[in-house]
């Protein structure tokens, strides 16, 4: 499974990349609005340079022609750009056109297997089922992931399942067990993947025991 960061924060992305396990980044207008910069293309290009992997840039339009225009402009920024497009009829027109131009796409705001099936038939590179939002609405977000993985394998669709709206580390584990290709998550969740209380206890114990060894060594030298 690939790990993507769901952020537009350059510091978080640099730190994630330095850890050596970051494969890509997803952004959206809301994430961009949280940051200080107002030059969206410049930020996207910097993120692409840092990550060297897929970076989703979301269009902001309701009509397919404008989505296509924005998508082509994003794609010119870097070979790593993936154009993020909403799951609407106009969005699917844009996905079809951009796919014909060999521009990668990420269909966002997916909440059902039917929507994911349509996106795959339109030629989407990625489909983003929003797990957390489905769970919040009293539905089973992971069931949509499971359905999409099964459908895509059954019909040999090349669209990758990108688990989005990740709320906690177990979402990542569950998505991986179901065969999702990617999990995209906030930096806070990404950090939590590394942590376990027994790891912390073990490190503390090793450090304490090593300190005893060093104290004995110092005592022997003094003799």
- Res 96: pLDDT: 98
Contact in structure between 124 and 95 (CB atoms under 8 Å): yes
pTM above 0.85, yes or no: yes
Per-residue pLDDT tens digits of the chain, which is 223 residues long: 999 999 999 999 999 999 999 999 999 988 988 887 678 899 999 999 999 999 999 999 999 999 999 999 999 999 999 999 999 999 999 999 999 999 999 999 999 999 999 999 999 999 999 999 999 999 999 999 999 999 999 999 999 999 999 999 999 999 999 999 999 999 999 999 999 989 889 899 889 888 888 888 887 776 6
Contact in structure between 131 and 149 (CB atoms under 8 Å): no
Report which of 35, 27, 31, 78 is spatially closest to residue 56, judged by C-alpha positions: 27
CA angle 103, 58, 92 (to 5 degrees): 60
Contact in structure between 87 and 110 (CB atoms under 8 Å): yes
Q: Among all chains, which residue has been given the structure tokens 């978080």?
A: 12
- Res 37: pLDDT: 67
* Residues assigned a catalytic role: 84
d(CA 197, CA 188): 17
Contact in structure between 107 and 127 (CB atoms under 8 Å): yes
Type and span of the H or E element at 86: strand 81-86
- Res 111: pLDDT: 98
Angle between helices 89-100 and 64-75 (to 10 degrees): 40
Tell me if residue 14 falls in helix, strand or coil.
helix
d(CA 91, CA 59): 10
């Amino acid at each position: 499974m690939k790990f993507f960061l769901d952020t537009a924060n350059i510091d978080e992305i640099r730190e994630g990349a330095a850890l050596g396990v970051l494969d890509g980044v997803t952004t959206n207008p809301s994430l961009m609005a949280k940051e200080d910069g107002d030059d969206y293309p410049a930020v996207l290009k910097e993120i692409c340079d840092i990550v060297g992997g897929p970076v989703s840039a979301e269009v902001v339009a309701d009509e397919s022609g404008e989505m296509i225009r924005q998508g082509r402009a994003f794609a010119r920024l870097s070979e790593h750009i993936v154009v993020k497009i909403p799951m609407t009829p106009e969005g699917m027109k844009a996905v079809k056109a951009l796919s014909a131009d060999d521009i990668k796409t990420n269909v966002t705001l997916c909440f059902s297997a039917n929507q994911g099936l349509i996106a795959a038939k339109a030629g989407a590179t990625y489909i983003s089922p929003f797990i957390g939002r489905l769970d919040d609405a009293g539905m089973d977000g992971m069931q949509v992931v499971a359905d999409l993985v099964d459908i895509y394998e059954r019909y040999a669709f090349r669209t990758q399942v990108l688990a989005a709206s990740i709320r906690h580390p177990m979402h990542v584990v569950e998505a991986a067990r179901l065969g999702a290709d990617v999990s995209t998550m906030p930096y806070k969740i990404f950090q939590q993947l590394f942590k376990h209380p027994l790891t912390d206890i073990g490190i503390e114990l090793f450090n304490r025991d090593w300190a005893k060894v060093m104290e004995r060594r110092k005592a022997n030298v003094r003799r």
